[in-house]
């Protein structure tokens, strides 16, 4: 069975997460992804453990070439790579690709059928178009941090680069749409995704409430500001779980299950509005009912009876979760040292592109000679480029 993107060439000028994670998705759909890096390596290669984690997670099965794009000979190699490409993806600092003659306008002037995708921090059309952007700036300026944390506490970032990860999926989705258009109509396209737009859009339900009321949502800890109990933490004898049961039928069912059928008739809890107004008293009553139960006992009580609940799990518990194990999300890859290591596959099941053991992230310039050979460069030409530091050959 052919993978959906078998035979498609993607040239990836991305660094860190958003662009490389998007091209990882395209690679998992069968595309041949060529990772283009400076001769000194992308920034993630020099920031220790965090950078190594990024490289392993978002660069599986790619082929790597290292070029000095400041040198016209390096730019020529990049152009020749793009001549064989269907999709180009980049998230370099604003203006960098243009200075190299590799911006969207220049590339598509030569090859209008190419799908050219750019990830920026704040969009390409507003006053911050030349401003570098990272996940945390998007979290701050989109409102995410303003609604994350305890009511009286300071604003909090989400505990992982949520905007970068979401932007990767948005970018891959848009690129696939543009590529389908090319297949149908023969025309390429330009795709633009900004971290700021993605971060705002992620909060769609909050924005829906704000646009209805004009009242900005406030931080409310784990609970949701307008419904209760919702996303509220219930400590147990050996851990904790989160519970949501804010509709009248579900709240009544929850109260019956924990042997507190009196709570729905209490005027403090008789409606969702009342429960929101008396959330602290509600949590006191509910938490008392869970305090003597183990997390397993609580889950066995709630989940089979249709009450939404989830155990709050550490990472070492998540990897043993039977549902996660059954999904096959964690895959084995072979590193450049020949050793196998565990990493993440893409979060879908696709019959034509099954998750299977593959190679890990490539070493810097691991496939430089191979790719230059495919472009028609001779061995002496490759050696000369390496001697002039226009390319990096992995030893």
Just list the catalytic residues. 164
Q: Directed axis angle between helix 18-28 and helix 162-185, to 10°?
A: 50
Task: Tokens for 181, please give them.
Answer: 């258009």
State the Cα–Cα distance between residues 19 and 29, nearest whole angstrom: 16
Q: Would the CA dihedral through 138, 143, 149, 153 be positive or negative?
A: positive
Count of H-run helices and E-run strands, the chain: 17, 13
Q: Which residues of 74-98 are buried (b: 16+ CB within 10 A; e: fewer)?
A: bbebbbbbbeebbbbbbbbebeebe
Cis peptide before 229 (omega within 30 of 0): yes
Q: Residues near 327 by Cβ (< 8 Å), separated by ≥ 6?
A: 349
Q: For the chain, where are the E strands, in sequence order?
A: 9-12, 32-37, 63-67, 87-90, 115-120, 189-194, 232-235, 240-244, 308-311, 330-334, 340-344, 358-359, 391-392
């Amino acid at each position: 069975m052919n993978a959906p993107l078998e035979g498609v060439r993607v040239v990836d000028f991305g660094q860190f997460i958003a662009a490389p994670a998007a091209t990882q998705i395209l690679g998992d759909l069968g595309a041949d992804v060529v990772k283009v890096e400076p001769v000194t390596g992308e920034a993630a290669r020099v920031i220790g453990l965090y950078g190594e984690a990024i490289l392993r997670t978002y660069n599986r099965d790619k082929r790597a070439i290292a070029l000095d794009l400041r040198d016209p000979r390096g730019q020529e190699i990049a152009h020749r790579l793009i001549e064989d490409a269907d999709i180009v993806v980049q998230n370099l600092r604003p203006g960098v690709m243009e200075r190299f003659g590799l911006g969207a306008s220049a590339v598509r002037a030569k090859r209008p059928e190419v799908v050219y995708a750019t990830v920026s921090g704040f969009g390409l059309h507003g006053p911050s178009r030349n401003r570098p952007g990272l996940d945390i700036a998007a979290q701050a300026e989109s409102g995410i941090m303003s609604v994350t944390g305890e009511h009286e506490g300071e604003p909090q970032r989400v505990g992982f680069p949520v905007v970068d990860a979401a932007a990767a999926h948005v970018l891959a989705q848009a690129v696939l749409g543009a590529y389908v258009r090319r297949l149908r109509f023969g025309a390429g396209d330009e795709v633009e995704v900004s971290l700021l737009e993605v971060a705002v859009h992620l909060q769609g339900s909050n924005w829906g409430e704000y646009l209805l009321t004009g009242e900005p949502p406030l931080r409310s800890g784990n609970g949701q500001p307008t419904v209760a109990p919702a996303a509220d933490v219930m400590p147990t004898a050996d851990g904790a779980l989160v519970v949501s049961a804010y509709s009248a039928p579900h709240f009544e069912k929850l109260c019956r299950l924990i042997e507190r059928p009196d709570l729905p008739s209490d005027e403090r809890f008789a409606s969702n509005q009342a429960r929101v107004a008396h959330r602290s008293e509600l949590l006191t009553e509910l938490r008392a009912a869970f305090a003597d139960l183990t997390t397993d006992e609580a889950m066995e009580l709630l989940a089979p009876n249709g009450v939404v609940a989830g155990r709050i799990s550490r990472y070492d518990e998540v990897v043993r979760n039977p549902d996660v194990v059954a999904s096959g999300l964690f895959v084995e890859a072979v590193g450049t040292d020949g050793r196998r290591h565990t990493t993440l596959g893409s979060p879908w099941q696709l019959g034509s592109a099954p998750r299977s053991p593959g190679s890990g992230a490539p070493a810097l310039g691991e496939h430089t000679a191979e790719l230059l050979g495919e472009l028609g460069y001779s061995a002496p030409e490759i050696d000369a480029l390496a001697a002039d530091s226009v390319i990096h050959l992995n030893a």
